[in-house]
Protein backbone atom coordinates (compact mmCIF):
# COMPACT_ATOMS: atom_id res chain seq x y z
CA UNK A 1 0.00 0.00 0.00
CA UNK A 2 2.79 2.43 0.86
CA UNK A 3 4.43 1.76 -2.51
CA UNK A 4 1.11 2.41 -4.30
CA UNK A 5 0.63 5.64 -2.39
CA UNK A 6 4.15 6.76 -3.31
CA UNK A 7 3.54 6.06 -6.98
CA UNK A 8 0.23 7.89 -6.86
CA UNK A 9 1.83 10.96 -5.30
CA UNK A 10 4.64 10.97 -7.88
CA UNK A 11 2.12 10.66 -10.71
CA UNK A 12 0.07 13.54 -9.33
CA UNK A 13 3.13 15.77 -8.99
CA UNK A 14 4.17 14.93 -12.56
CA UNK A 15 0.78 15.47 -14.18
CA UNK A 16 -0.34 18.53 -12.24
CA UNK A 17 1.99 21.02 -13.99
CA UNK A 18 1.06 19.56 -17.38
CA UNK A 19 -2.62 20.06 -16.70
CA UNK A 20 -2.03 23.63 -15.59
CA UNK A 21 0.06 24.32 -18.69
CA UNK A 22 -2.66 22.90 -20.93
CA UNK A 23 -5.23 25.15 -19.28
CA UNK A 24 -3.19 28.22 -20.23
CA UNK A 25 -1.53 26.98 -23.40
CA UNK A 26 -1.57 30.32 -25.20
CA UNK A 27 0.79 31.71 -22.53
CA UNK A 28 3.81 30.18 -24.28
CA UNK A 29 7.49 30.98 -23.61
CA UNK A 30 8.82 34.03 -25.41
CA UNK A 31 11.93 32.19 -26.73
CA UNK A 32 13.57 35.64 -26.60
CA UNK A 33 17.33 35.66 -26.06
CA UNK A 34 18.76 38.89 -24.56
CA UNK A 35 20.04 40.31 -27.86
CA UNK A 36 18.61 41.45 -31.19
CA UNK A 37 19.12 39.76 -34.54
CA UNK A 38 19.25 40.89 -38.17
CA UNK A 39 16.64 38.28 -39.09
CA UNK A 40 15.38 35.10 -37.48
CA UNK A 41 12.70 32.47 -38.09
CA UNK A 42 11.77 30.54 -34.96
CA UNK A 43 9.51 27.47 -34.88
CA UNK A 44 8.28 26.55 -31.40
CA UNK A 45 6.04 24.09 -29.58
CA UNK A 46 4.92 24.79 -26.04
CA UNK A 47 2.89 23.60 -23.04
CA UNK A 48 1.94 19.93 -22.63
CA UNK A 49 1.39 17.37 -25.40
CA UNK A 50 1.92 19.92 -28.16
CA UNK A 51 -0.87 22.20 -26.94
CA UNK A 52 0.51 25.27 -28.70
CA UNK A 53 2.54 25.88 -31.85
CA UNK A 54 3.99 29.25 -32.78
CA UNK A 55 6.05 30.78 -35.59
CA UNK A 56 8.13 33.86 -34.77
CA UNK A 57 9.66 36.20 -37.33
CA UNK A 58 12.22 38.62 -35.88
CA UNK A 59 13.67 41.44 -37.94
CA UNK A 60 16.26 44.08 -37.00
CA UNK A 61 15.48 47.57 -38.30
CA UNK A 62 18.13 49.70 -36.55
CA UNK A 63 21.28 48.99 -34.51
CA UNK A 64 20.14 47.38 -31.26
CA UNK A 65 16.44 47.41 -32.19
CA UNK A 66 14.14 44.65 -33.38
CA UNK A 67 10.54 44.03 -34.41
CA UNK A 68 8.90 40.61 -34.40
CA UNK A 69 5.66 38.89 -35.32
CA UNK A 70 4.22 35.78 -33.64
CA UNK A 71 1.52 33.63 -35.23
CA UNK A 72 0.26 30.27 -34.05
CA UNK A 73 -2.46 27.98 -32.78
CA UNK A 74 -3.26 26.86 -29.24
CA UNK A 75 -5.54 24.05 -28.13
CA UNK A 76 -6.00 24.50 -24.37
CA UNK A 77 -8.77 21.94 -23.84
CA UNK A 78 -9.88 20.30 -27.07
CA UNK A 79 -10.44 20.67 -30.82
CA UNK A 80 -13.56 22.82 -30.30
CA UNK A 81 -11.55 25.39 -28.34
CA UNK A 82 -8.70 26.00 -30.77
CA UNK A 83 -7.36 29.54 -30.48
CA UNK A 84 -5.63 31.73 -33.04
CA UNK A 85 -2.66 33.53 -31.46
CA UNK A 86 -1.17 36.67 -33.07
CA UNK A 87 1.30 39.09 -31.48
CA UNK A 88 3.66 41.90 -32.39
CA UNK A 89 6.73 42.78 -30.33
CA UNK A 90 9.41 45.44 -30.06
CA UNK A 91 12.84 44.87 -28.49
CA UNK A 92 15.67 47.25 -27.65
CA UNK A 93 19.12 46.37 -26.32
CA UNK A 94 19.75 48.12 -23.00
CA UNK A 95 23.31 46.87 -22.60
CA UNK A 96 25.71 44.27 -23.93
CA UNK A 97 28.12 42.16 -21.89
CA UNK A 98 31.59 43.63 -21.34
CA UNK A 99 34.67 42.71 -19.33
CA UNK A 100 33.28 44.60 -16.34
CA UNK A 101 29.55 43.92 -16.87
CA UNK A 102 28.78 40.29 -17.81
CA UNK A 103 25.07 40.52 -18.68
CA UNK A 104 23.13 41.26 -21.85
CA UNK A 105 19.87 43.12 -21.20
CA UNK A 106 17.04 43.44 -23.71
CA UNK A 107 13.89 45.51 -23.15
CA UNK A 108 10.76 43.93 -24.67
CA UNK A 109 7.22 45.21 -25.23
CA UNK A 110 4.34 43.71 -27.18
CA UNK A 111 0.69 43.45 -28.09
CA UNK A 112 -0.97 40.05 -28.51
CA UNK A 113 -4.38 38.54 -29.24
CA UNK A 114 -5.73 35.04 -28.55
CA UNK A 115 -9.18 34.50 -30.06
CA UNK A 116 -11.55 31.58 -30.65
CA UNK A 117 -15.24 30.86 -30.27
CA UNK A 118 -15.43 32.33 -26.76
CA UNK A 119 -14.04 35.48 -25.11
CA UNK A 120 -10.90 36.95 -26.68
CA UNK A 121 -7.78 37.83 -24.73
CA UNK A 122 -5.64 40.90 -25.49
CA UNK A 123 -2.24 41.03 -23.78
CA UNK A 124 0.19 43.96 -23.45
CA UNK A 125 3.45 42.61 -21.92
CA UNK A 126 6.51 44.58 -20.84
CA UNK A 127 9.69 42.88 -19.68
CA UNK A 128 13.47 42.48 -19.76
CA UNK A 129 15.41 39.47 -21.05
CA UNK A 130 18.67 38.98 -19.14
CA UNK A 131 21.45 36.49 -19.90
CA UNK A 132 25.03 35.76 -20.85
CA UNK A 133 26.62 33.87 -23.77
CA UNK A 134 29.27 31.24 -23.04
CA UNK A 135 31.37 30.17 -26.06
CA UNK A 136 31.94 26.45 -26.57
CA UNK A 137 34.26 24.42 -28.76
CA UNK A 138 33.63 24.15 -32.48
CA UNK A 139 32.07 27.60 -32.81
CA UNK A 140 29.07 26.66 -30.69
CA UNK A 141 27.76 28.61 -27.70
CA UNK A 142 25.12 28.48 -24.98
CA UNK A 143 23.14 31.41 -23.61
CA UNK A 144 21.17 30.87 -20.39
CA UNK A 145 18.61 33.63 -19.84
CA UNK A 146 15.58 34.71 -17.83
CA UNK A 147 12.73 36.79 -19.21
CA UNK A 148 10.27 38.21 -16.64
CA UNK A 149 7.26 40.08 -18.05
CA UNK A 150 4.42 42.07 -16.50
CA UNK A 151 1.30 42.00 -18.65
CA UNK A 152 -1.99 43.87 -18.83
CA UNK A 153 -4.58 41.23 -19.80
CA UNK A 154 -7.92 42.39 -21.21
CA UNK A 155 -10.72 39.86 -21.68
CA UNK A 156 -13.24 41.03 -24.31
CA UNK A 157 -16.72 39.74 -25.11
CA UNK A 158 -17.23 38.58 -21.52
CA UNK A 159 -20.56 38.74 -19.77
CA UNK A 160 -20.79 42.02 -17.91
CA UNK A 161 -18.27 43.73 -20.23
CA UNK A 162 -14.53 43.69 -20.75
CA UNK A 163 -12.31 42.86 -17.76
CA UNK A 164 -8.67 43.78 -17.15
CA UNK A 165 -6.02 42.10 -15.00
CA UNK A 166 -2.32 42.49 -14.27
CA UNK A 167 -0.33 39.25 -14.55
CA UNK A 168 3.26 38.02 -14.46
CA UNK A 169 5.06 35.52 -16.69
CA UNK A 170 8.62 34.36 -16.00
CA UNK A 171 10.76 32.38 -18.47
CA UNK A 172 13.90 30.44 -17.58
CA UNK A 173 15.55 29.22 -20.76
CA UNK A 174 18.69 28.54 -22.74
CA UNK A 175 19.76 29.03 -26.35
CA UNK A 176 22.17 26.46 -27.76
CA UNK A 177 23.81 27.78 -30.94
CA UNK A 178 24.84 24.81 -33.09
CA UNK A 179 26.05 26.95 -36.00
CA UNK A 180 25.88 30.70 -36.80
CA UNK A 181 22.59 29.95 -38.62
CA UNK A 182 20.91 27.37 -36.36
CA UNK A 183 20.00 27.31 -32.67
CA UNK A 184 17.95 25.12 -30.37
CA UNK A 185 16.04 26.70 -27.48
CA UNK A 186 14.34 25.30 -24.43
CA UNK A 187 12.40 27.30 -21.87
CA UNK A 188 10.29 26.80 -18.78
CA UNK A 189 7.48 29.29 -18.24
CA UNK A 190 6.01 30.08 -14.84
CA UNK A 191 2.78 31.96 -15.25
CA UNK A 192 0.36 33.68 -12.90
CA UNK A 193 -1.97 35.02 -15.56
CA UNK A 194 -5.65 35.88 -15.56
CA UNK A 195 -6.71 32.55 -17.12
CA UNK A 196 -4.81 30.07 -14.97
CA UNK A 197 -1.63 29.79 -12.93
CA UNK A 198 0.91 27.08 -13.55
CA UNK A 199 4.05 26.09 -15.40
CA UNK A 200 4.92 24.73 -18.79
CA UNK A 201 7.80 24.01 -21.14
CA UNK A 202 8.62 24.90 -24.71
CA UNK A 203 11.24 24.01 -27.32
CA UNK A 204 12.06 25.74 -30.58
CA UNK A 205 14.33 25.76 -33.61
CA UNK A 206 15.69 29.19 -34.60
CA UNK A 207 17.10 29.78 -38.08
CA UNK A 208 19.05 32.81 -39.30
CA UNK A 209 19.19 32.89 -43.13
CA UNK A 210 22.69 32.46 -44.62
CA UNK A 211 24.42 35.80 -45.07
CA UNK A 212 22.90 37.24 -41.89
CA UNK A 213 24.57 36.91 -38.51
CA UNK A 214 23.56 37.70 -34.95
CA UNK A 215 25.55 40.58 -33.53
pLDDT on residue 165: 85
Mean pLDDT along residues 111-138: 91
**pLDDT at position 153 over 50:** yes
Question: Rounded to two decimals, what is the model's pTM?
Answer: 0.81
pLDDT of residue 97: 93
Residue/partner pairs of 144-148 with CB below 8 Å, 24 or more apart: 144/173, 144/174, 145/32, 145/33, 145/34, 145/171, 145/173, 145/174, 145/175, 146/170, 146/171, 146/172, 146/173, 147/29, 147/30, 147/32, 147/34, 147/108, 147/171, 147/173
- In this structure, CATH architecture of domain 2-207: Beta Barrel (2.40)
What is the tens place of the pLDDT at every residue in 80-96?
578 899 999 999 999 99
**Domain-by-domain residue ranges, the chain?**
2-207
Amino acid sequence: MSRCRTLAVLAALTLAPLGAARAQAWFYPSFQVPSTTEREYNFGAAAASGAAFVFQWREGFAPGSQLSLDAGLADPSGPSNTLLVVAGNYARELSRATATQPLDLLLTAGLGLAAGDGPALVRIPLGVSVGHTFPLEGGMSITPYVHPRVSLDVWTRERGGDRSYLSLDFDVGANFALTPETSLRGSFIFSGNSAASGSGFGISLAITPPGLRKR
